[in-house]
Each structure stands twice: as C-alpha cells, then as structure tokens.
Amino acid sequence: MSVPKINKIKKHLDPGNRYTVMLFVTFIGVTSLRKCCFIYHDVNKELHNDFARIDTVMMDKFLVNKRKLESADDFDENHHTKKYKQEANDYEALSIKTLIIRPLKWRDLRAENLDCDYGILFSKVNADRILCQCERMLNYNEGQLAKVKIFGKWHDIPRKQVAHGDPGLSYTFSNNTVPARPWTPFLDDIRDAVSDVTGHSFDFVLINRYKNGCDHMGEHRDDEKDLVHGYPIASLSLGQPRDFIFKHADSRGKKAKRSIEPLKLLLEHGSLLLMKHPTNTYWYHALPQRKRLLGVRINMTFRQMVPASNSGNKTTKPKAELP
C-alpha cells in the first residue's frame, strides 16, 4: 500500500471505535490486515499522548480551583443562600407571564381514571429564552442527594435533579429526602405563570435535567405522603421533546390483572401537562430512554406539599378540593 493511501486512512480512522479495524479490513482486504493494525496502533498511540497532555492540563486546573474553593471566605453552610442573593441581582426578568400564548388551548387527555390537560404554554422562541436562563442559573444536587435506594442498593439518579420551595419543605422518594432550596426570582416568575394558567397555587417544584435521550425516569406514581392528596401536579417541559408513557396499575408486569393500552404523549418544548386526580392513584408514568435523541430537556413539576409538621402523620394530611 502506498504512503499517500496510508496517510489518507489515518486521517479518517477513529481509534475510539472498536469496529475500526474490522471496517478497514473489509475496505482494504484481508491481505492488508497487518498494515491496518499497524496504522491503528500508530494513530492510537498518537492520540494517547495527546490525551495524556490534556489530562495533565485539566488536573492542574482542577487543583487550582480546588484550592480556591478551600480558601474561599464564603464557602460555608450559607453558601447557597448567598448564591441565590447574587442570582437575584444577576437575573434579568423575562416577565414570563407576558410570554404565555393566549388564549391557551388545552387538549383533554382522558382514559379510565386518567384526567389530564395538555397545552403549549410558550412559543419556541420564548421557550428557548427560558431554557437558556435555566441552563445559566440552575444548580443541581450532588453527592448523596443525587442517589436513590432501590431494592436495598444505592444508585445514581439517571438525570440531574434539584428542588426549590417554601421554607421547611422536602420531598422523600426511593429512600431519599430532597430538601427544598429557597425560591429564586427566576423560579418565582415561572411558578406564578403556571399558577396563572392552571388556577392552582404551588409551594414546591422538583426540577429534572436530562442531558440527552440516555437520561430517563422509570415508572412511578406521584403518590408520596409529602404531597397533598388529590392536588394537581403541573409539569413544564423545556428543550428536547420526549415520549411520556402512562401505564395503568392493573396492566403492569407479567401478572397483570387486566389488559389496558398504555397512553403515550409527546411532551413538546414549551408545553405544560396538568395531571389531575385520580390520575396518580391509578396510573404510573415514565420517561423512557430514547438513545438517538441528543438534546437537553429540563422538566419542572410544580406541587403542593404537606407542611413539614404534618407529613409524618397521614391522619392529619390535608386533602385538596376535588371537582
């Protein structure tokens, strides 16, 4: 094989792909297998050296940043409170209520014991603006708060997550309690806009960020004791449209009692889904993996929580007024 041909192959060779050698064997021919392997080894060695240099630079930056954090005067238990005050100064109000599409056209979603309303709350342009603010201003939980316990084992949540709400509120699910961080001016505006179109007030929001279609959420019902029983949950979607699957409790698993068709809904950019009683009593919902999707999705679910003093006692749990 001539040198120009070898250089051309090296230019397009991807050493990170485990099928590279196989593909080029097919392209060049079995007789050139040894040459392909030499080319692959040569490129892989070059890239390894490059990555080693990059790793050294990144580690230096990490150590410098770590030292800055360790020596910072304001890095204490009030760190988040101070950061939110700074955010209040940095936030450029979008007047989110004025961005709502009016009149809002609701689509009714009905099935056996399923009652939901769905509509497009923001145009693409305005939804893009809100999503950009989310990416700039939201900070997500880390460490133990980013894990859930399933069947006795701790697992990383397959998405980023954070909660904001009124003082003293928290949300417990899968053996993990997520405390509410303080409301920010940005989230205040979004909450007020959602309350305006739904006619319901909310004191808590759980925010999930899905970096791409690999991040997901398994089947579950929002029926925890921390939630006011029967109160609607408003779900705002921004970014990558994703499939949302409802599945009736009686039709799940191999020992399903009945055969009830799942309901699939595409949650679009800038859309709002209002899940009303008794949906979360009878239906599970999930956001399954869609590995071909590359876009970021941010979801905000606005809720009404039981006050902290009552959340441990079911007999004192307030109930929402049902239509």
Instruction: Identify the structural domains of the chain with CATH numbers, from first to last.
Output: 3-68 (no CATH), 83-316 (2.60.120.590)
Q: Is 280 exposed, middle or buried (0-12, 13-18, 19+ CB in 10 A)?
A: buried
Give the start-end residues of each E strand in the chain.
107-111, 114-120, 147-150, 153-156, 160-165, 170-173, 176-179, 204-210, 217-220, 233-239, 242-248, 263-267, 271-276, 283-287, 297-303
Q: Specify whether the CB–CB gap between 302 and 194 falls below 8 A.
A: yes
DSSP state of 306: P
Matching residue, tokens 């988040």: 80
Whole-model pTM above 0.75? no
E strand residue ranges, 180-308:
204-210, 217-220, 233-239, 242-248, 263-267, 271-276, 283-287, 297-303
The confidence score (pLDDT) of residue 154 equals: 80
Give pLDDT < 70 ranges for the chain: 1-93, 174, 309-323
- Name the region of 60 (left: φ>0; alpha: ψ -120 to 50; beta: rest): alpha
Q: What pLDDT, on the 0 to 100 scale, is given for residue 144?
A: 81
Q: What pLDDT score was predicted for residue 150?
A: 75
**pLDDT score recorded for residue 94:** 76
Q: In the prediction, which pLDDT does 247 show?
A: 97
User: What percent of the chain has pLDDT above 70?
Assistant: 66
List the structure tokens of 45.
């060695």
Q: What is the CA radius of gyration of the chain?
A: 25
Rounded Cα distance between 232 and 276, Å, is: 5
Which of 232, 313, 308, 309 has the alpha carbon at shortest distance from 273? 232
For residues 102 and 122, what is the distance between their CA atoms, to the nearest angstrom? 9
